[in-house]
Amino acid sequence: MHLTDEEQGILDGAFGEPQRIALNVLVKLGQAYGADRLVEIASAHVVGSSYQIAGEAGIAIYTQLVEEGARVKVRTTSDPGSIDFARWRQFKTPGEYAERQIKIAELLDRMGVIPTWTCTPYTTFNVPRFGEDLGWSESSAVVFANSVIGARTNRLAAYVDLCAALVGRVPRFGLHVPECRRGEVAFELTPDLSANFEDHYFPALGYLVGQVTGDRISVILGVRRATFDQLKAFGAAAAASGSVALYHMVGITPEARTVDEALGGRQPSERHVVGTREVRETMAQMSTGQDGPVDVVGVGCPHASIDQIRRYAMLLQGKRVHTGVELWICANTVVEEMSRKMGYLETIEQAGAKLMVGTCHNDCPLGPWGFRRLVTDSGKFAYYTPTTVGTECIFASTEACFEAAITGRVDRR
Amino acid sequence: MSPSQIIRGRGCSPGEFEGEVVVSLQPFGFWQGIDPRTGIVIDRRHDLCGTSLCNKAFVFPYGRGSTGTPGIFLEAVKNGCAPAAIVNVKSEPMIVACALLAEAFFKVSIPIVDGLAADYRDLLRTGDRVRISGASGIIEVVSGG
């Protein structure tokens, strides 16, 4: 693996211990995966910002790095934390748990990490450009940056993302190499599905694609139009059910202006035809529980945009969340502030719903609530919450989620 | 099984191991997969649920899941109850990163070998004693379990 003089200097310790440790990890990782050299990155995004992920080991690592003077070298943003910093008592987070998360926040702050506490850094503060190399983790953000924007990043592991941030480099292999970005597995929507593609089919189709492809690159044909938020939902679901880091949606995503471009001029190794029946079957698999009473509803995974907040406020206008039901909308502080300015927050709170800021149902310890049945419009929540929250989970459209919150029941018929 | 059988793979992370193996034929995700305080598998969907991986050589086809994987893995390393070696059919960067980070921040070497035959059920069985060299990628089965 070729190293520049500066990189060799970093490895020799000329730029301090944190950079030496960080580069050493990145070089060894590159050697294990056939990287020819390192590439400079435009930004990093770190997932070990959450106490649930980092734990005491993370605090030990960050403390060591801070004591040795570590500072990030490129723009670096933080993934959600494990508490809503402003309202953790309201969400019944134990005080000693909140303290450990606040400790992580202080340590990341001292390294120069921008405290965005969001899984959607690409909407503000950390907006990649087409073709840029990045050092990102957070599977839903990685798949968005690669697929929708056309930036280049592997799915970095927790702490490897911070290593990348400390030296501003990653080993060049995998998705940094243009030839490794070609689609391999084709999914063709039937004409009927293509003509009647509903909003909540995006996370469902993403979930199906992830299940089939694992970490291979898919090419989706037949989606006629998609919003920013629909692509966000699709990718997050695919990255949860599989390890999808890049997909191509022909006519929609930038490296797939044509089928040929998406496949790199080759034939796909597999072809799948997907109809309404397959999407409905996937939705059934995404639910691990039965229809009936609901005690918690989760939307805003990945974190909600202001467009989504507007839609939620309209669904809640003049309505009241059912007694005994918690409706939490997950978002970041920027969207929170904007929804306050625009009056949506007032509508949401008057209806008895809550904004959950800088964290989500998945990241926050919810044991004290004793929830039993969660309803969500997110494919990622559907995949993880049966384990993280320990509830039954029902996947439903956004409208059906709000209906469930208002009536206190989910009925998918 | 004849003693001292040799399996050759690809060394992904250096280090030496001698001890018992725990074998699974299912992919594994450490995030929500083990309790980092004990090293015991907690994923109820997994065939090893309830089994301790603490200081064992853990054999599974490939890793699954979250970019948070090293978070849980290093917590187990810090608590002294992580697997002490890993053998895969294919080691994804997420798994190799766990070993590199354990060495970088906790001075613990976890040899990783991949390139194991896709059907390894007759090569390695839970309870076998093995020697693993992460540098050379050689696994020596010392005695059958």
How many interchain CB pairs under 8 A, A with B? 103
| Angstrom distance (rounded) from CA A4 to CA A169 | 12
Q: Tell me the per-residue pLDDT of A360-376, one tens digit each, with 9 for 90 and over.
A: 999 999 999 999 999 99
Q: What is the mean pLDDT of chain B?
A: 93
Which strand (E) or helix (H) includes residue B113? Answer: strand B112-114
What Cα–Cα distance (Å) separates residue A156 from each residue in A48, A184, B11, B95? 11, 22, 21, 11
Q: Are residues A263 and A308 in the same domain?
A: no
Last residue of a domain, one of A250, A285, A320: A285
Any A CB within 8 A of B85 CB: no
Q: Are residues A208 and A276 in the same domain?
A: yes
Nearest residue of B to residue A163 by CA position? B101
pLDDT the model gives residue A386 = 87
* A182, amino acid identity: R
| DSSP labels, A350-413 | HTT-EEEES--TTTS--GGG---EEEES-HHHHHHHHHHT-SEEEE--HHHHHHHHHHSEE---
Residues in Cβ contact with B122 at an 8 Å cutoff, skipping those fewer than 6 apart: none
Cβ atoms of A355 and A312 closer than 8 Å: no
CB contact under 8 A, B93 and A158: no
Q: Are residues A293 and A281 in the same domain?
A: no
pLDDT the model gives residue A201 = 98
Point out the residue among B74, B93, B101 whose CB comes nearest to the CB of A33. B93
pLDDT the model gives residue A17 = 98
- Residue B1 reports pLDDT greater than 70: no
| Angstrom distance (rounded) from CA B58 to CA B76 | 14
Which strand (E) or helix (H) includes residue A39? Answer: strand A38-40
Give ∠ CA B122-B126-B131 in degrees, rounded to 5.
85
Question: Domain tally for chain B?
Answer: 1
Closest approach of B85 to chain A, Cα-based (Å): 16
Chain centroid to Cα A65, Å, comes to 26
Cβ atoms of B66 and B92 closer than 8 Å: no
Structure tokens at A283: 């939705």
Any B CB within 8 A of A68 CB: no
Last residue of a domain, one of A178, A197, A222: A178
Q: Tell me the per-residue pLDDT of A139-149, one tens digit each, with 9 for 90 and over.
A: 999 999 999 99
What Cα–Cα distance (Å) separates residue A267 from each residue in A178, A182, A251, A327? 17, 10, 18, 46
| Angstrom distance (rounded) from CA A93 to CA A91 | 6
- Residue B66 reports pLDDT greater than 90: no
The CATH number that applies at residue B86 is 3.50.30.10
Q: Which residue segment(s) compose the domain that B77 sits in?
A: 5-143
Nearest residue of B to residue A79 by CA position? B68
- Residue B3 reports pLDDT greater than 70: no
Closest approach of B113 to chain A, Cα-based (Å): 11
Nearest residue of A to residue B27 by CA position? A214
Q: Are residues A30 and A118 in the same domain?
A: yes
Q: Are residues A228 and A173 in the same domain?
A: no
What Cα–Cα distance (Å) separates residue A393 from each residue in A296, A374, A388? 10, 5, 11
Give B-chain residues touching A137 at CB under 8 angstroms. Answer: 67
CB contact under 8 A, B67 and A47: yes
Q: Which of A339, A319, A329 is nearest to A297 (CA)?
A: A329
Instruction: Check if B66 is active-site.
Output: yes
Q: Tell me the per-residue pLDDT of B16-52, one tens digit each, with 9 for 90 and over.
A: 999 999 999 999 999 889 999 999 999 887 899 999 9
* A211, amino acid identity: Q
**Active-site pick, B66, B109, B133, B136:** B66
Closest approach of A385 to chain B, Cα-based (Å): 11
Point out the residue among A29, A52, A54 whose CB comes nearest to the CB of B97. A29
Last residue of a domain, one of A160, A178, A196: A178
| DSSP labels, A95-116 | HHHHHHHHHHHHHHHHTT-B--
Q: Are residues A137 and A30 in the same domain?
A: yes
Average pLDDT over residues B81-103: 96
Q: Are residues A141 and A166 in the same domain?
A: yes
Closest approach of B62 to chain A, Cα-based (Å): 11
Q: In chain B, what percentage of residues exceed pLDDT 90?
A: 80
Q: Are residues A274 and A294 in the same domain?
A: no
Q: Which residue segment(s) compose the domain that A89 sits in?
A: 5-178
Q: Are residues A402 and A304 in the same domain?
A: yes
Q: Are residues A89 and A117 in the same domain?
A: yes
Which strand (E) or helix (H) includes residue A292? Answer: strand A292-293
Confidence of residue B145 (pLDDT cuts 50, 70, 90): low
Q: Are residues A164 and A187 in the same domain?
A: no
Sign of the Cα pseudo-torsion (A147, A153, A154, A156, in order): negative
Any B CB within 8 A of A54 CB: yes
Point out the residue among A55, A60, A387 whose CB comes nearest to the CB of B71. A55
Any B CB within 8 A of A25 CB: yes
Q: Are residues A163 and A204 in the same domain?
A: no
Any A CB within 8 A of B64 CB: yes
Cβ atoms of A268 and A183 closer than 8 Å: yes
CB contact under 8 A, B70 and A158: yes
CB contact under 8 A, A154 and B93: yes
The CATH number that applies at residue A390 is 3.30.499.10
What Cα–Cα distance (Å) separates residue A312 from each residue in A283, A353, B109? 22, 10, 50
What Cα–Cα distance (Å) separates residue B3 from each residue in B6, B120, B124, B130, B143? 9, 17, 12, 10, 5
Cβ atoms of A365 and A83 closer than 8 Å: no
Give B-chain residues touching A156 at CB under 8 angstroms. Answer: 67, 97
Sign of the Cα pseudo-torsion (A107, A112, A117, A119, in order): negative
Nearest residue of B to residue A363 by CA position? B68
Block means of pLDDT (10 residues each) for chain A, 413 residues, are: 98 98 98 97 97 97 98 98 98 98 98 98 97 97 98 97 98 97 98 98 98 94 98 97 95 98 97 98 94 96 98 98 98 98 98 98 95 96 89 96 97 77
Any B CB within 8 A of A156 CB: yes
> Do strands A247-249 and A218-221 pair parallel, antiparallel, or not at all (unpaired)?
parallel
Question: Domain tally for chain A?
Answer: 3
